[in-house]
Amino acid sequence: MAGFRCRRRRSGGLLVGPQKERKRWVGRCYACGSEVVELRHRNCANIDCNRLYLSCGWCAEELAGCCCSDCKAAPRLRPLLPGHQRYLKWHVYRDGLLPPAAADGEDDADCC
């Protein structure tokens, strides 16, 4: 059979080919370009941008959840969300409908 010459039969009848070394895939932080091993995406905190991007933890804190310094200076910003939390719909922030606990950045145990 053509194309199968490199394969050998193991005991038990399994065909095995050359083993390839698996490389660890690493993303890059959108803001600083550093390697991001823990791949978490986030949306920009600027409601008018809302860019989906990868960010290292340092840049997420330093830029307050924004993708760049221009967005950090924007007038319509959502609060920085720690961890794996997701933003609510944009109209909640626009209309000021956040409950007091959520506006302070506290976790709401009854949410979602």
The DSSP code for 68 is S
In 10 A of CB 16, how many CB atoms? 10
pTM exceeds cut of 0.85: no
CA separation for the pair 67, 50 (Å, rounded): 9
| CA atoms 61, 65, 68, 72: torsion sign | negative
Domain locations in the chain as residue ranges:
25-104
CA separation for the pair 105, 100 (Å, rounded): 9
SS3 100: helix
Task: Look at 12-21, 30-39, 60-69, 70-79 and tell me which has the smallest mean pLDDT.
Answer: 12-21
pLDDT tens-digit map of 81-98: 777 788 888 778 777 766
